[in-house]
Amino acid sequence: MSTITLSAGGAAVKPRKANKKKAQPFPYILLLPTLIILVVMVGYPVVSLIITSFQHYGREQVFGAPATFAGLENYQTVLTDPSFWMMLLRSFLFMIAAVVATMLLGTLLALLMMRLNKGFRLLVTVGLLLAWAMPALASVAVWGWLFDTSYGIINYLLTQITGSDWTGHSWLANPISFFLVLGLVIVWQGAPFVAFTLYAGLTQIPGEVLEASQMDGATPVRRFFLIMMPYVRSIFTVLIVLSIIWDIRVFAQVVALQSIGGIAEQTSTFGVWVFMKGTAGGNYGVSAAAALIMVVVMLVISFYYVRQTLREDNN
């Protein structure tokens, strides 16, 4: 994927060479260390992934037996599996909901930070940093405890507040509420990054522009959409694309939550499905094929936005 993305980026950058500079070897030498690292860390695994996706590759092959060529069989297996399409739909719906919620919350937090005085801003910053810096598995463990069926504080508080009996209510058994809890974990950890980045962007907007618009009678809502948004639009685009990528390949949180409760078959997302077929199920060929399909899907998403961004830029 990454190599392809890079070449996509490279292709998109090409038109800029219209500025024309003489070809010099020095810039390429500077690029070399990065390229070597990318080839070793990204290129090699991707190539081996592509090869595996065309092979019969099971547990015996992991321990050294030679793999046989499978042609397109693995791809056929993936694409004709109804559970694959269900999972794809599920992953996309979750991604959309999570990205919208993350961006919304992150933007509101950024606007809040603009208004706060120094002391409170520091408090919010530290709080956001802690949420952001918390390891994914640790945060799932904490949220899992909050929503625990037998001992969770959420069930306890709901029983106290609503008066109806929530004792023993399982939040993860129902796929909808499973994704609600998962969404909380993801948004809670994703929003701080959006908030910080947007806040940094918003502080760069010249104060006199906002002041002028205010004097002309623009309401806060109009000021936000007509003045602030255009200034931070490219940042916004990058944040959306990054969130899309992060949320569609969410893995550890789902697996950890599944080990607490819920029905794996109805709650697996892209990465989890690939993992279940491969590492857990011992069918690495099929899982490599599914992983490559995932890569292509994400390539399509990011390519559109990268092109869009560059086009706006050139205008």
Partner 1 sequence: MKGKIAAVALVAASALTLAGCGGNPGGQTSGGSTDSSAPAASAALRVWLVGTDTPQEARDYLKTTFEKENAGSTLTIEEQSWTGLVDKYMTALSGSNSPDVVEIGNTQVPAFTAAGAFLDLTDKYEELGGDDMLKGFVDAGSDKGKFYAAPYYSGARVVTYSTDIVSGDVPTTWDAYLTAAKAAKTDTVSGMYLTGKDWRDMMTFVWVNGAEIATQDSSGKWTAGFNTPEGIKGLQQAADTYNAASLFPKDAVEGDQQIPFCEGKIAYLPAPSWVAGMISAPEDAKTPGCASTFGAKEKLHQFAAPGLTAGTYAPVLAGGSNIAVPAKAKNTDLAYKAMQIMLSDGYQKILAEAGMVPALTSQAQFMADNENSKAAQAAASAAISTPAAEKWADVEASQILEDSFSKLVSGTADAATIAKELDDKINATLNG
Q: Which of residues 48-67 bind partner 1 (CB under 8 A)?
A: 48-49, 52, 57-65
- β-partners of residue 68 are 56
Q: Does 166 bind partner 1 (CB under 8 A)?
A: no
* Helix, coil or strand: residue 69: strand
Of these, 70, 182, 260, 293, which contacts partner 1 (CB under 8 A)?
Answer: 260
20 phi-psi bin (left φ>0, alpha ψ -120 to 50, beta other) = left
C-alpha distance from residue 142 to each of 125, 165, 303 (Å): 21, 23, 36
Q: Does 310 bind partner 1 (CB under 8 A)?
A: yes
Return the number of the residue (59 or 222) whose C-beta is nearest partner 1.
59
**Sole window of 18-26, 128-136, 205-213, 270-278 interacting with partner 1 (rule: CB under 8 A):** 270-278
Residue 125: CB partners within 8 Å, gap ≥ 6? Answer: 113, 196
DSSP 55: E
Question: 6 to 35, contacts with partner 1 by CB under 8 A?
Answer: 6, 8-9, 12
Residue 153: CB partners within 8 Å, gap ≥ 6? Answer: 145, 146
Q: Does 136 bind partner 1 (CB under 8 A)?
A: no
Rounded to an integer, what distance in angstroms lies between the CA atom of residue 289 and that of residue 306? 25
Question: 143 to 162, contacts with partner 1 by CB under 8 A?
Answer: 149-150
Q: Does 288 bind partner 1 (CB under 8 A)?
A: yes
Q: How far is the CB of 98 from partner 1 (least distance, A)?
A: 15
Q: How far is the CB of 179 from partner 1 (least distance, A)?
A: 14
Q: Token pair 């208004």 is at which residue?
A: 115
Q: Is the dihedral of CA 150, 152, 154, 158 positive or negative?
A: positive
Return the number of the residue (9 or 121) whose C-beta is nearest partner 1.
9
Q: Does 245 bind partner 1 (CB under 8 A)?
A: yes
Of these, 78, 192, 287, 293, which contacts partner 1 (CB under 8 A)?
Answer: 287
Rounded to an integer, what distance in angstroms lies between the CA atom of residue 161 and that of residue 104? 28
Question: 195 to 224, contacts with partner 1 by CB under 8 A?
Answer: none
